[in-house]
Amino acid sequence: MINQTTINKEFRVTGPGLHTGRTVTVTVKPAPENFGIAFRRTDRINIVTQPALADRVGETSRGTTLGSGRQTIATIEHLMSALHGMQIDNAIVELDGGEVPILDGSARPWMLQLIRVGVRQQQAERHCFDIKEPLHFEFAKTGSVYDVEPCDHFAVHCDIDFADSVIGRQSAELNDFSEYAASIAPCRTFVFLHEVEPLLHLNLIKGGSLDNALVFVNKELTSKQLKRLAKIFNKDESLFKVHDGVLNTTDIYFPNEPARHKLLDFVGDIRLVGVPLNAKFNISKPGHKANNAFARFISEYINKQ
């Protein structure tokens, strides 16, 4: 028997949100057995506890947003990925704002906090769901494909395919949760250079920087373009470099870091099914919108069993 887990004690993390740029403090607290994972905003008069479930997701544009109206909590995927990757069953996440901080653009800072406070076993048995037959799901809007095969543990194979040659086709794997900390958690979010300014015009990525995202470049930059980008990111243009198609002040961690980050996001988004799953997931061209549709598909499948 494998028991449920929570964290030993609460911890706090403060930082700006990727899209709003507003500073938010997140407090992650232990939760009792059979509680699951839930979020709540403490900056609202009426504090609503929202279970981290796929059918509670209201928006999936450039991230996974829980809730609707004035109770939304945006960009939960990296924290959810860390909780799932560290196999935390029960936790309550409190925020004094509407977006989880982006930190370094990966799940690693959350994972390190979970390691620091420690994981505690509880008395109740963990309720895993074993998928015992092959399943197939396609999300036509994005060309995303999800195939599931029976497995006695959670595993993922992820393929991505970008027309832009600086990324192109890549694959990544998570064969067991024991690999998560070293090979998946550190992998950062990414964006193409030509997407940056339109996202700013949409009032997004106000908290984005060259320290928390990989910016891929598919063309040579003129001095005028570098000056404009330096202004956007509030950096000296002399600090910019393009190496292996990446505009950044830090090096890429893995040649396939984008594929690993897409896998990281999936680990977070699939946890919104609400229970740990034992299955091998073969996913192609995943994204938050498709991940959420797939998580709802799996939730419905579980409810029918």
Q: Please tell me what DSSP assigns to residue 61.
A: S
Domains of the chain as residue ranges with CATH:
3-128 (3.30.230.20), 190-247 (no CATH)
Give the SS3 label for residue 174: strand
Give the SS3 label for residue 47: coil
User: CA 180 to CA 186: how far, in whole Å?
Assistant: 9
Q: What are the phi and psi torsion angles at 136 (to 5°)?
A: -135, 135
Q: Are 129 and 53 in contact (CB under 8 A)?
A: no
The secondary element (H helix, E strand) that includes residue 146 is strand 144-149
Radius of gyration of the chain measured on its C-alpha atoms: 19
pTM: 0.92
User: CA 135 to CA 177: how far, in whole Å?
Assistant: 22
Enter the tokens of residue 135: 């399943």
Question: Between vectors from CA 27 to CA 24 and to CA 32, what angle results, nearest 5°?
Answer: 150
Edge to edge, the sheet with strand 37-41 lists: 11-16, 23-30, 91-95, 37-41, 50-51
CA torsion, ordered 24, 30, 31, 32, to nearest 10 deg: -170
Which residues make beta-bridge pairs with 246? Answer: 216, 243
Those residues whose C-beta lies under 8 Å from the C-beta of residue 302, and which sit 6 or more positions away, are 129, 273, 275
Q: Are 107 and 294 in contact (CB under 8 A)?
A: no
Question: What pLDDT was estimated at residue 22?
Answer: 85
Catalogue the active-site residues: 288
Enter the tokens of residue 76: 């939960």
Residue 62 CA, distance from chain mean position: 10
Tabulate helix, strand, coil % of the chain (nearest 5): 30, 30, 40
Per-residue confidence of the chain (305 residues) as pLDDT tens digits?
899 999 999 999 999 877 677 899 999 999 999 999 999 999 998 888 999 999 999 999 889 999 988 889 999 999 999 999 999 999 999 999 999 999 999 999 999 999 999 999 999 999 999 999 999 999 999 999 999 999 999 999 999 998 877 889 999 999 999 999 999 999 999 877 777 766 655 555 555 556 677 878 777 767 777 777 766 666 676 766 666 777 765 678 999 999 999 999 999 999 999 999 999 999 999 999 999 999 999 999 999 98
Question: Between vectors from CA 47 to CA 41 and to CA 51, what angle results, nearest 5°?
Answer: 70
Q: Please tell me what DSSP assigns to residue 68.
A: -
User: CA 35 to CA 42: how far, in whole Å?
Assistant: 19
Question: What pLDDT was estimated at residue 1?
Answer: 81
